[in-house]
Amino acid sequence: MYSRINRPDWARLIAIAANEVKDEVGEGAVADYIPALANVDPNQFALSLSLVDGRTFHTGATGTRFSIQSISKVFTLTTALNYAGGNLWDVVGREPSGTGFNSIVQLERENGIPRNPFINAGAIVTTDQLVSSCENEDPIDKLLALVKDATSDRNIGIDGEVARSEREWGARNRSLAYFMKSFGVMTNDIETVLWTYFQQCAIAMTTSQLSRAGLFLAANGVDPVSGNVITTADRVARINALMLTCGHYDMSGDFAFRVGIPGKSGVGGGILAIVPGLGSFAVWSPALNKFGNSHAGTLALEILSHEAGLSVFLDPSR
Amino acid sequence: MYSRINRPDWARLIAIAANEVKDEVGEGAVADYIPALANVDPNQFALSLSLVDGRTFHTGATGTRFSIQSISKVFTLTTALNYAGGNLWDVVGREPSGTGFNSIVQLERENGIPRNPFINAGAIVTTDQLVSSCENEDPIDKLLALVKDATSDRNIGIDGEVARSEREWGARNRSLAYFMKSFGVMTNDIETVLWTYFQQCAIAMTTSQLSRAGLFLAANGVDPVSGNVITTADRVARINALMLTCGHYDMSGDFAFRVGIPGKSGVGGGILAIVPGLGSFAVWSPALNKFGNSHAGTLALEILSHEAGLSVFLDPSR
Amino acid sequence: MYSRINRPDWARLIAIAANEVKDEVGEGAVADYIPALANVDPNQFALSLSLVDGRTFHTGATGTRFSIQSISKVFTLTTALNYAGGNLWDVVGREPSGTGFNSIVQLERENGIPRNPFINAGAIVTTDQLVSSCENEDPIDKLLALVKDATSDRNIGIDGEVARSEREWGARNRSLAYFMKSFGVMTNDIETVLWTYFQQCAIAMTTSQLSRAGLFLAANGVDPVSGNVITTADRVARINALMLTCGHYDMSGDFAFRVGIPGKSGVGGGILAIVPGLGSFAVWSPALNKFGNSHAGTLALEILSHEAGLSVFLDPSR
Amino acid sequence: MYSRINRPDWARLIAIAANEVKDEVGEGAVADYIPALANVDPNQFALSLSLVDGRTFHTGATGTRFSIQSISKVFTLTTALNYAGGNLWDVVGREPSGTGFNSIVQLERENGIPRNPFINAGAIVTTDQLVSSCENEDPIDKLLALVKDATSDRNIGIDGEVARSEREWGARNRSLAYFMKSFGVMTNDIETVLWTYFQQCAIAMTTSQLSRAGLFLAANGVDPVSGNVITTADRVARINALMLTCGHYDMSGDFAFRVGIPGKSGVGGGILAIVPGLGSFAVWSPALNKFGNSHAGTLALEILSHEAGLSVFLDPSR
């Protein structure tokens, strides 16, 4: 096992990881709840690293854009915390749910307060708070502004077809939103909030862009390349904690167990994973395991973590 | 905010923490499900640090023994993994449960397989595996041997009164055990397993002993003082991951959010918390919050984490 | 105890029942989820009997209209069965739910199929089937036509203020509808179905009208006064069975236990109860017990059942 | 459709029913949780009627004894109500559970109070009350005395092999009992209560004996043949109500919907069904549907109900 401080040969390590998962790419099933995702070729793989020292490493289709889907919840949460502040925690918890990403059972038992901002219900109420923080600004523009600041890349946007498809097939999310509204948890017009939510899910990025977008989470809130202040260290500690405990739906514990670093997956097949003090990893492979997380992507991160001793639960100096 | 690498003045920090929580000691309620715990004076507090460099720091009643209760699940898991190996994961999961520590609901929905080894059902099945690994040995002796190796202290044992009281008032745990047996998950005689389980919950330690007992978890499996190999680095990464995601019952996410380090609490009012690469913290104050975790103990750890930048989700070098 | 065949003195019996519950009228709370119901005076009581032999008996405010709310589910089910036929049972079950009237938990566990047509979700999907059976007809007109046929009274209609209020405050029902839509259980436009649903809940009737409207259920499907065929005997057996097992939300078993006849309550404070072969009882008193059923109304029916030996579980000849 | 008052030709009707279900006998699966039941030949069928006028009708293997299993809950409830009185309702409810017969989920949500006396947990707590009512008497003797009074047949007893097998494989019921004990709902020693419970489940009867044993439930509490007073009319109304709402586990609503009379099934393949004022029906065929109720037995009762207009939800005079 490498140690984080022993300066691993990253180019070689990501090649090893990509090679080891080669036969697993395509195993599982792509998300099929909207046509725009169902038609994605499952046999794709990309892996990008952005280190806090400025170096980047890439393998696979790292220039192909994909729908980041639930990974956007990380950026929405960051934006909402920046603007809405701690009041967010009045309407959303920070506990793992023990149920699937779109489950409504817990909402009924707990008075419409979602367990955490990374399940759908929690992300919708987080989006509601983001909408509330906007006066003459489009909440999506506010969110994209943060992503652009984090990446120093103006060329990041929404896949309109995916966004419209999400809205058309959005009955389950609509149900979650109205359910919370019936408990008085939602503040704004439901369709306005949902359209913001569907758009953020439809943000399209490459792994190269995504790994850079997460780099501030490895560096206490400041993008170390540009020096842009994205958020505070205090919020970073909390966002990373939520990623670790809740970032992979009802497989979050398993990801912590096997990979040992904060991560957030999306049903588009992407995963963003953070090694505090070291860097940000983005992996993409569209075929999902039964919990809705990229099968090959999870495996690649597990291999990297093991080979480079990335787990936050190990002594980084040994 | 201090940084971990800036060598905080620990003596001063623990004095600050102890002072800040002074008025909170006694807030909440002591566990009352057995008389032996119900009679404990809630107005007690102790905090001990054992660092990987060998230094220790203490404040409060660090020489008073208390019932470590569920903290023992950490040592039982370590022992079971050492002897029973990976087969344990066939009968217990590694996901947060989203329910209380003694909930049975999830067991029914998931065929008698408990969510993780740190809820009661999961600890009972872990104990069952430990019992299976013993031939002519008492499983409790095996467990105590590991604790004694970790602490280099032979003077650690069971509080017999507490153990007998647990057995007498053990209907809920008995129900969990028989429930799992009905799904074929349990291997050994139920009362034999439960008696082992009740005894391990009744292990009595001081915070001084406890912080030392957890030190191998901060040091990739080896007690850095004695050099005793307690378990492998791989297992440490996983045990710490489980502590972070599942160590505080249905408040685990909140502990990760506020404190940001792996921890395991017990209804006796103790908490063991690990900072990989730095050290092991033990805190004790018997009055519990509504989730069953020490109120003042959690606060003290939150203060220390904030002051010394302990969160595993922050860059340790900044 | 009187026997059903001993021809009780009904005028005297309903006077006794009304007198005995006098002090209970107003106990409980009126429904407050919409302003139109929250403002109703709780201190009202009315009781009407329509017997299969054509006689009627009345006591209290039997000329005051009230919102029949969920009692309308009986008439909607009858209409839907008449027009949509047995296909209805592909999308709704006939089991008690074991949960509250607007619970969504069971829907998630059972793929969006509601347990029975008398909880909100089940009534919404029944309404969806009714809408599907209409081509150039307004589904509400179809439903009202059945009620008018059953009562030979053209003067029954919708309280428009209540209907609009239901729609304005309908987030929970909207959530249920979208949830079922996400499972493919709903066929028509959600707002169209809900508007039909909200209107039927807002049907306003007196107890005099309501007892007559239910008379066909005591007489194998034919209104014995007018001879109008409302539905088949087979459907009556099933509708009454559903009223007995599911007619009082999560207090249905208690109503069967204490009163022993098929009944359906509404949050407007009305209850329709059927004694097969004898007659139809309508009671109204707006203050509800904690399960959402009229407190005084339930008591009055319990007294009548006991005094006149009405329970379908007793030998009617003894 | 025949009417109840038109004196159907019962001999012919039961022959028709037996013939119509002939090809369905053996469909489904026999209970296999204990060896003593798993070895029963599924291809058996028996049907007996005992009418309040003293006549009896039989077809099939009506002289073969079978394990009445959960049908015994009816007799235990009657005995407990006779001796323990209304206090029983402090520790058990009377609502359908909406879950399977041995589910523990609801117990956790509702403080250890089972939903009704006909699910396992409810029958165990009912047995506990029966045990409490005994001083120097064996509770099983007390229960058997009631059954012998009802049948005027001293030759009814326990199948010892089944009782011992139940005890050996009783982990799930043991779990339910200890769970309720943890909430303070159980009064007596758990193994004593369970042994009584396992024995009553192991009562062996023929359909001939069983139909006679239930006759008092069709006749307001008095066996019309012997004149023996078994219980009060008030209790009969309530026991029958519970059989209708809760007698077939999570298929009770369906049985009410299709058959329309109070009934109680057992996993031995028997069903006891009551037509108040008319008579008591016992059917037996060991192969069960997925809800644990006799497949052919349910069908035979549905045919009889339809042909003879037995539903309590129809006008008996039409």
For A109, nearest residue in chain C (alpha carbons)? C105
Q: Indicate if the pLDDT at residue C1 is higher than 70.
A: no
Residues of B in contact with D103 (CB under 8 A): 108
Q: Which residues contact D248 (CB under 8 A, 6 or more apart)?
A: D254, D255, D263, D264, D265, D291, D293
Whether residue B317 and residue A277 make contact (CB cut-off 8 A), yes or no, is yes
**Is-contact D65 D213, C-beta < 8 A?**
no
Binned at pLDDT 50, 70 and 90, residue B84 comes out as confident
Identify the three-state secondary structure at position B270: strand
pLDDT at B103: 85
Chain D CB contacts of B109 below 8 Å: 105
Confidence (pLDDT) at D1: 37
Chain A residue numbers touching B220 (CB-CB < 8 A): 314-315, 318
- Specify whether C290 is catalytic: no
Q: What is the ipTM, given to two decimal places? A: 0.95
What is residue D85's predicted lDDT score, i.e. its pLDDT?
Answer: 73
Please say whether the beta carbons of C86 and C277 come within 8 A: no
Name the closest residue on chain D to residue B176, using Cα atoms: D175
Q: Which residues of A touch B241 (CB under 8 A)?
A: 253, 256-257, 260, 311, 313
As given in the structure block, the two tokens for residue C18 are 């009304």
pLDDT one-digit tens code per residue, C251-292: 999 999 999 999 999 999 999 999 999 999 999 999 999 999
B contact chains, 3+ CB pairs < 8 A:
A, D
Q: Which residues from chain D sit within 8 angstroms of residue B111, using beta carbons?
A: none
Helices C233-246, C72-84: crossing angle, 10 deg rounding: 140
Count of residues making up chain C: 318
Which of A106, A118, A280, A315 to mutate to test binding with chain B, by most B CBs within 10 Å of its CB?
A: A315
- Neighboring chain B residues of A240 at a CB cutoff of 8 Å: 311, 313-314
C-alpha separations of C20 from C8, C293, C299 in Å:
18, 18, 9
In angstroms, the CA D138 to CA D125 distance is: 17
Tell me the C-alpha distance between B158 and B201, whole Å. Answer: 8
Task: Provide the number of CB pairs (under 8 Å) joining chain B to chain D.
Answer: 49
Q: What is the C-alpha to C-alpha distance for residues C176 and C102, in angstroms, rounded to an integer?
A: 8
Residues from chain A contacting residue C179 (CB–CB below 8 Å): 104, 171-172, 175, 179
Residues of C in contact with A108 (CB under 8 A): 103-105
Residue C85, pLDDT score: 73
**pLDDT at residue C318, rounded to an integer:** 66
pLDDT digits (tens, 9 = 90+) for C288-313: 999 999 999 999 999 999 999 999 99
Name which of C234, C258, C312 to mutate to probe chain D: the one with the most chain D Cβ atoms within 10 A of its Cβ.
C312
Alpha carbon distance A115, A125 (integer Å): 11
Amino acid at D132: S
* Single-letter amino acid code for the residue at C284: W
Question: Which of A104, A177, A181 lies nearest to residue C108, judging by beta carbons?
Answer: A104
Contact, C180 vs C121, CB < 8 A? Answer: yes
Q: Residue B161: how many CB atoms within 10 A of its CB?
A: 14
CB contact under 8 A, D108 and B109: no
Q: Do A253 and B94 touch (CB under 8 A)?
A: yes
Q: Are strands A203-205 and A263-265 parallel, antiparallel or unpaired?
A: unpaired
Q: What is the pLDDT of residues D142-187, one digit of tens each?
A: 999 999 999 999 999 999 999 999 999 999 999 999 999 999 999 9
Q: Which chains would you list as touching D if contact means 3+ CB atom pairs under 8 Å?
A: B, C
Of these residues, C73, C142, C148, C264, which one is catalytic? C73
Q: Is the pLDDT of residue D3 over 80?
A: no
Give the position of tokens 């984080």: A4
In the predicted structure, residue D2 carries a pLDDT above the cut 50: no
| Across D119-139, average pLDDT | 95
Q: 């007809």: which residue's tokens? A: C137
The conformation of residue D262, written as its DSSP 8-state character, comes to: -
What percent of chain C is predicted at pLDDT more than 70? Answer: 98
Q: Judge whether B98 and A99 are in contact, CB under 8 Å.
A: yes
If one counts every other C-beta atom within 10 angstroms of the C-beta of residue A134, the result is: 16
Percentage of chain D modeled with pLDDT above 70: 98
Size of interface A-C (CB pairs under 8 A): 49
Q: How far is B174 from chain D (nearest CA, A)?
A: 6
Pick from D173, D182, D189 the residue to mutate for testing the B interface (most B CBs within 10 Å). Answer: D182
pLDDT at A98: 83
Residue A128 has a pLDDT of 98
Residue whose entry in the numeric block shows the structure tokens 């939150």: B302
Does residue C5 carry a pLDDT above 60? no
Q: Between chains, do D256 and C236 touch, taking CB under 8 Å as contact?
A: no
Tell me the catalytic residues of D. 70, 73, 197, 249, 267
- Measured between CA atoms, how close is B174 to chain A, in angstroms? 24
Contact D311, D275 (CB under 8 A): no
- Name the minimum distance, in Å, from the CA of D266 to any CA of chain C: 19
Least reliable range by pLDDT among A80-84, B129-133, B209-213, B314-318? B314-318
Q: What one-letter code names the amino acid at A164? A: R
Distance between CA atoms of residues A266 and A263, nearest Å? 10
The answer to whether the CB of B219 falls within 8 A of the CB of A318 is yes
Count CA atoms closer than 13 A to D208's CA, side-chain side: 15
Q: Which two tokens stand for residue C16?
A: 């006794």
Exposed / middle / buried, residue D193 (Cβ in 10 Å: 0-12, 13-18, 19+): buried
B178 → closest Cβ in D103, D108, D171? D171
Write out pLDDT tens, residues B33-56.
Answer: 899 899 999 999 999 999 999 999
pLDDT at A6: 59
Contact C276 D237 (CB under 8 A): no
CB-based burial label for C102 (10 Å; 0-12, 13-18, 19+):
middle
Please pick, among A50, A72, A73, A74, the residue that the annotation labels catalytic. Answer: A73
Q: Cβ of D150: how many Cβ atoms within 10 Å?
A: 25
- pLDDT tens for C39-84 read 999 999 999 999 999 999 999 999 999 999 999 999 999 999 999 8
Nearest residue, CB atoms, A98 vs list B97, B312, B314: B97
Active site residues of B: 70, 73, 197, 249, 267
pLDDT in tens, chain A (318 residues): 335 555 789 999 999 999 999 999 999 999 998 998 999 999 999 999 999 999 999 999 999 999 999 999 999 999 999 998 778 999 999 999 888 778 888 999 999 999 999 999 999 999 999 999 998 899 999 999 999 999 999 999 999 999 999 999 999 999 999 999 999 999 999 999 999 999 999 999 999 999 999 999 999 999 999 999 999 999 999 999 999 999 998 899 999 999 999 999 999 999 999 999 999 999 999 999 999 999 999 999 999 999 999 999 999 876
The alpha-carbon radius of gyration of chain C (Å, integer) is 18
Provide the pLDDT for residue B4. 58
Q: What percent of chain B has pLDDT over 70?
A: 98
Residue of chain C whose Cα is closest to the Cα of A190:
C171
- Phi, psi torsion values for A270, nearest 5 degrees: -90, 155
Strand residues in chain B grouped as ranges (E): 46-51, 56-60, 66-67, 157-158, 203-205, 263-265, 270-275, 279-284
Of A141, A143, A135, the closest CA to residue A81 belongs to: A143
- Output the DSSP codes for chain A: ---GGG---HHHHHHHHHHHHGGGTT-SB---SSHHHHTS-S---EEEEEETTS-EEEEESTT--EE-GGGHHHHHHHHHHHHHGGGHHHH---S--SS-TT--HHHHHTTT--S-TTSHHHHHHHHHHHHHT-SSS-HHHHHHHHHHHHHT-S--EE-HHHHHHHHHT-HHHHHHHHHHHHTT---S-HHHHHHHHHHHHTEEE-HHHHHHHTGGGGTTTB-TTT--B-S-HHHHHHHHHHHHHHTTGGGHHHHHHHT-S-EEE-TTSEEEEEETTTEEEEEE---B-TTSSBHHHHHHHHHHHHHHT--TTS-TT-
